[in-house]
Amino acid sequence: MAVKEIALESLNVQEFIEDKAKEISSIVGDGVAINALSGGVDSCAVTMLGHKAIGSRLKTYFIDNGIMREGEPQSIVELFKKMGVKVGIVDAQDKFFNALKGVTDPEEKREAVTQTFYKDVFGKLVGDSGAKYLLQGTILTDVDETIAGIKRQHNVFEQLGIDPQKAFGYKIIEPLVQLRKDGVRKVAAGLGLPESSYKRIPFPGPALAARVIGEVTREKISVVRIATTIVEEELCHTGAFQYMGILHQDRVTGMRDGKRDFGLQIEVRCWDSIDARKATPTNVPHDVLCKLADRIVAEVPGVVSVTYNITQKPPSTIEAI
């Protein structure tokens, strides 16, 4: 069944929050639901919505998959503690890195993250908690792009004819699925989340694995994680929709301490966009880009080349895999 979009102009935030809270509460009844908080605006909004609807009968977890940004588990747990929501951290790093071992194809990497998340990690958590429902922050752009065959977004199932109940043993509730990113930000603000959260740039479900070309290893993730921190620090003043560092697979010849260094390449992308359906590269001042490159080669071990993407979406996509 096609999802009916609620465009930003027709979104009444308070009404939406009340309606969705009622809907969640009537579906879950007096049972228990579970959700994973990744720290992105979609999952933050869904967590607050779920807690508004069913309080502590929503069990919220942060899955530490080893492919998140620097300091993420702790800062998210702290933020939600301040909002009165308890978040459990689940260490699943080994499971994710094992599933990603030897996988180089982009869609297979996405699938490895999806299966590990929904089947191995969540399947067990749901079983242990007695929950029958998973609450998640799928938005309309995720559904569109998956159906169009552009990218298999890790959180889209029913629209692909996959029954989560049969595949994973639980039902999925998606209260944000009629919204795009701009609408979710408004709802997140309406739910009382801080600006640092509702204005946060988007981050993909497959996390930093979407920003490593080729096989994902702990070593490559630690390289792209440092690059990500620098890119976010240096580009946060641009007002861009999203920005990121991508670790390439090919090496290039560089020089360090007067010697040849066959080193790593980081590609920087910075996007202007309204809702991620189309995007154009941000006109970042040259001196900002140069400072960014200087920091990346100085602070990220092994990097000798930094490039800036100047392609539009389409035909590019925002993430690299």
Within 123-142, the residues that bind ligand XMP by CB under 6 A are 142
Question: What is the rounded distance in angstroms from the CA atom of residue 106 to the CA atom of residue 300?
Answer: 24
Please identify which residue in 73, 106, 202, 281 interacts with ligand XMP, judged by CB under 6 A.
Answer: 202
Look at residues 169, 172, 198, 239 and name the one whose alpha carbon lies nearest to residue 42. Answer: 198
The answer to the question of residue 155 lying near ligand XMP (CB under 6 A) is yes
Which residues, numbered 218-277, are part of the site for ligand XMP (CB under 6 A)? 242, 276
Closest CA to 186 of 6, 39, 26, 52: 6
Note whether 313 binds ligand XMP by CB under 6 A: yes
If one asks whether residue 151 binds ligand XMP (CB under 6 A), the answer comes out as yes
Applying CB under 6 A, does 47 fall inside the site for ligand XMP? no
Size of the site for ligand XMP (CB under 6 A): 17
**CB-based closest residue to ligand XMP:** 205
Q: Taking CB under 6 A as the rule, does residue 109 contact ligand XMP?
A: no
φ, ψ of residue 44 to 5 degrees: the values are -65, -45
The tokens for 42 are 């979609």
Strands 58-64 and 33-36: parallel
User: Which CB, 174 or 234, lies closer to ligand XMP?
Assistant: 174
Residues with Cβ within 8 Å of 241's Cβ and at least 6 positions away in sequence, in order, are 201, 202, 271, 272, 273, 274, 276, 279
**Looking at beta carbons only, is 258 or 315 nearer to ligand XMP?**
315
What is the C-alpha separation between 43 and 39, in angstroms, rounded?
6
Shortest separation between residue 135's beta carbon and ligand XMP, angstroms: 14
Q: For residue 122, give the 3-state DSSP assignment.
A: helix
Q: Which residues bind ligand XMP (CB under 6 A)?
A: 142, 145, 151, 153-155, 202, 204-206, 210, 242, 276, 313, 317-319
